[in-house]
């Protein structure tokens, strides 16, 4: 079987369609790479692109996409609801087929070196690629955001793993790393009550940290100005332990207790079939719902 990896770069642009389209076209320039999804959010002011391909093709594609983003996005002019440190904020690499995590880490290091050497962009490694324990968690690497790095400089433990010792004047820095599958899943409230959304997100984090459930779930509250609603934005980093249904149910239960309804939920990027089945199985109390019961899998 051919080696396949997934790359899910997050770009700090969610309002200019032409800019995102040019970045996506740059990524898609490699023949063996397939862009399977991309989405934009005006309130987060962020675009997420998902593409798959052989390791070295993905390496060339993400360099092309990063180069385009550095040329097109000035983070000094960027305002949005999502934390960020760079025009190309984060570049996750996920091993999909016939490739080990160690190989994915090696690929991430090659990608980081390409970016640092050729685009003069400071690079930090995170997750499985982290060179320091305190950089494993993306939130720790991104603490304070672009503005804090611009004001304080890349010093006192914030020195990059690769690249210049000063941040790029318009593109900031970028974070690269290999990791396992992750589900980006948001729950929108039928309310603009950010106090409630923050309380729900904090309770989720507290329960996770206490070991009482919601393992691997990261949660923040975001105000969606274009719709005047509050959002509980989550990353499910251990989808084999916590499901979308568990997250949705928790948010709904907590919101209802405050007299607030859930408006809808939202999936960003792609999801593995097993994660979708896990959520459906829990929602319908259907324990024997497995991939073998899905007819489409027998027709491929």
How much is the CA Rg of the chain, to the nearest whole Å?
19
Q: Which of the following is catalytic: 82, 134, 168, 240?
A: 82
- What are the structure tokens assigned to 42, written together? 């005006």
pLDDT of 1 above 90: no
- What are the structure tokens assigned to 203, written together? 């309770």
Give CA–CA dist 73/86, Å, rounded: 9
List the domains of the chain with CATH numbers. Answer: 4-178 (3.30.990.10), 183-295 (3.30.70.670)
3-state SS, residue 219: strand
Residue 11's nearest CA partner among 124, 169, 175, 128 is 175
pLDDT tens-place string over residues 247-283: 999 999 999 999 999 999 999 999 999 999 999 999 9
Establish whether 240 is a catalytic residue: no
Instruction: Report pLDDT for 283.
Output: 94
Give CA–CA dist 239/247, Å, rounded: 11
- What are the structure tokens assigned to 198, written together? 């923050």
Instruction: Report pLDDT for 300.
Output: 78
pLDDT tens-place string over residues 117-172: 999 999 999 999 999 999 999 999 999 999 999 999 998 889 999 999 999 999 99
Instruction: Report pLDDT for 9.
Output: 99
Give CA–CA dist 54/178, Å, rounded: 15
With bands split at pLDDT 50, 70 and 90, how would you rate the model's confidence at 297? confident
Over residues 234-248, the mean pLDDT reads: 97
pLDDT of 190 above 90: yes
Residues 6+ apart with CB under 8 A from 134: 140, 157
- Are 89 and 51 in contact by the 8 Å Cβ rule? The answer is no
Mean model confidence pLDDT for the chain: 96
Largest CA distance in the chain: 57
Q: Strand order of the sheet with strand 183-189?
A: 217-224, 229-236, 183-189, 262-268
75 secondary structure, DSSP code? G
Instruction: Report pLDDT for 243.
Output: 96
Instruction: Report pLDDT for 156.
Output: 87
3-state SS, residue 286: coil
CB contact burial 44-82 (16+ within 10 A = b; e otherwise): bbbbbbbbbbbbebbbbbbbbbbbbbbbbbebeebebbb
pLDDT of 90 above 90: yes
Give CA–CA dist 206/215, Å, rounded: 11
* Number of residues written out for the chain: 300
Give the residues across from 38 on adjacent strands: 49
Instruction: Report pLDDT for 217.
Output: 98
3-state SS, residue 164: coil
Over residues 207-220, the mean pLDDT reads: 96
pLDDT of 232 above 90: yes
């Amino acid at each position: 079987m051919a080696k396949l990896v997934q790359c899910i770069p997050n770009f700090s642009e969610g309002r200019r369609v032409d800019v995102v389209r040019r970045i996506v076209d740059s990524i898609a320039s490699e023949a063996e790479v397939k862009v399977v999804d991309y989405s934009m959010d005006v309130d987060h002011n962020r675009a997420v692109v998902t593409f798959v391909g052989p390791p070295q093709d993905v390496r060339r594609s993400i360099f092309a996409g990063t180069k385009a983003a550095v040329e097109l996005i000035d983070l000094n002019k960027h305002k949005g609801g999502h934390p960020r440190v760079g025009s190309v904020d984060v570049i996750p690499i996920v091993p999909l087929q016939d490739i080990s995590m160690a190989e994915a880490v090696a690929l991430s290091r090659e990608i980081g070196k390409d970016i640092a050497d050729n685009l003069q962009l400071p690079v930090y490694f995170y997750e499985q690629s982290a060179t320091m324990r305190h950089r494993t968690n993306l939130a720790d690497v991104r603490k304070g955001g672009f503005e804090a790095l611009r004001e304080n400089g890349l010093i006192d433990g914030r020195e990059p793993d690769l690249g210049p010792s000063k941040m790029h004047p318009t593109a900031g820095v970028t974070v690269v790393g290999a990791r396992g599958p992750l589900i980006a899943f948001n729950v929108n409230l039928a309310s603009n009550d950010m106090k409630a959304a923050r309380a729900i997100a904090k309770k989720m984090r507290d329960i996770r940290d206490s070991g009482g459930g919601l393992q691997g779930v990261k949660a923040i509250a975001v105000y969606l100005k274009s719709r005047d609603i509050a959002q509980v934005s989550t990353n499910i980093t251990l989808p084999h332990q916590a499901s979308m249904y568990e997250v949705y149910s928790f948010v709904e239960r907590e919101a209802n207790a405050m007299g607030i309804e859930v408006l809808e939920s939202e999936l960003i990027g792609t999801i593995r079939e097993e994660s979708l089945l896990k959520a459906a199985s829990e929602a319908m109390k259907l324990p024997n719902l497995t991939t073998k019961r899905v007819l489409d899998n027998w027709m491929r």
